[in-house]
Amino acid sequence: MSSQDAFDAAFDRLVALAEARGLARVARSTSYGTPALKVEDRTFVRLLDEETIVLQCPLEQKVLLMEISPAIYFETDHYVGYDAVLVRLAAIDDEELSLRLEDAWQFKAPMGRKPPEKKDT
């Protein structure tokens, strides 16, 4: 698999999980030259590279995630004090990543916005 194919596959995974989660008003876009998902023009997740995403989250949640699961969540010097955590895509399963995407969506969505309720079919 080429680097571009891996990049595309990583982004396709994010898109599929956001769609399955029912996150509203999500748009494919770019941020800092890499593919990103935005809610009403606010980035909530973007690819850093084919193996890593930048996930928006409150600083308190970032610290907790890095303490609980350092094999998944981390930061570099560039992201210290910034409301985003780096996530190793190979280390996180789809269920947890889906939950983190929803958290990031809620963190960046305008106040009072929530994903639609799941309906049993």
Read off the pLDDT of residues 84-114 as tens digits, 9 standing for 90 and up: 999 999 999 999 999 999 999 999 998 655 5
Q: Domain 3-108 falls in which CATH fold?
A: Aspartate Aminotransferase, domain 1 (3.90.1150)
Q: Which of 29-38, 59-68, 108-117 has the lowest mean pLDDT?
A: 108-117
Domain range summary for the chain, segments of one domain joined by +: 3-108
The answer to whether residue 65 scores a pLDDT higher than 90 is yes
List b or e across 81-92, with b for residues whose CB sees 16 or more CB atoms inside 10 angstroms. eeebbbbebeeb
Under 8 Å between Cβ of 67 and 94: no
Q: What would the pLDDT profile of 67-90 be if each residue is shown by its tens digit?
A: 999 999 999 999 999 999 999 999
